[in-house]
Amino acid sequence: MENSELQYLRRCVELATEALAVGDEPFGSVLVSAEGEIVAEDHNHVASGDNTRHPEFELARWAAANMTPEARAAATVYTSGEHCPMCAAAHAWVGLGRIVYVSSSEQLTAWLSELEVPPPPVNTLPISSVAPSVVVEGPVPELAEQVHELHRRFYTET
């Protein structure tokens, strides 16, 4: 993995940390243009009571509203955790490009089970099962433990 890519992923972990600091689940994502510029970023906002407020979903809708189809296809979404099925579907529906995630849904499922968190109402599936044409890279072991720690803190400190 290139240094610039790790930088984007570190920003995702930072955003996830910000989410945790305001009492939300620790997920963060950035949308990077073909030119390497972060054009949008977000963290989870489900503490509002709306459980669809995932950052990847917000970025997909932002991209649909603000980027041409060509720019969307050439963009990359970096994210602290692999897209859930809802977000993977939104990503594919708006024609965004590659995805790079720090930790996989499989890892998250194992971590939450360790923490005895009840399973979510939507099955966790790999992105490739939902959006088979999207190029996906991850997990990234050098950052995954930081994301694990954020989830541990969310369920043990809040």
Residue from the set 84, 90, 99, 130 that interacts with Zn ion by CB under 5 A: 84
CA distance 133 to 137: 13
Q: How far apart are CA 152 and CA 154, in angstroms?
A: 6
Rounded CA-CA distance 62/81 in Å is 19
Is 77 near Zn ion (CB under 5 A)?
no
Looking from the CA of 61 toward its CB, the CA atoms found within 13 Å total 9
54 binds Zn ion (CB under 5 A): yes
Q: Which stretch binds Zn ion (CB under 5 A): 7-15, 28-36, 48-56, 72-80?
A: 48-56
Segment lying near Zn ion (by CB under 5 A), choices 2-10, 77-85, 130-138, 140-148: 77-85
Cα distances (Å, whole numbers) of residue 81 to 35, 66, 69, 127:
23, 24, 25, 11
Neighbours of 107 (CB within 10 A): 19
Q: Which range binds Zn ion by CB under 5 A, 9-17, 46-54, 63-71, 141-149?
A: 46-54
Residue 91 binds Zn ion, judged by CB under 5 A:
no
Q: What is the smallest separation between the CB atom of 79 and Zn ion, expressed in angstroms? A: 9
Half-sphere exposure in the Cβ direction for 64 (13 Å, CA): 11
Q: Does 59 bind Zn ion (CB under 5 A)?
A: no
The structure tokens 């923490």 sit at 115
Q: Is 16 in the site for Zn ion (CB under 5 A)?
A: no
| Residue 43 in contact with Zn ion, rule: CB under 5 A | no
- Contact region for Zn ion (CB under 5 A) — 79-87, 95-103, 105-113, 114-122? 79-87
- Give yes or no for residue 92 binding Zn ion (CB under 5 A): no
Instruction: Count how many Cα atoms sit within 13 Å of the Cα of residue 31 in the half-sphere of its side chain.
Output: 25
Residues that bind Zn ion (CB under 5 A): 54, 84, 86-87
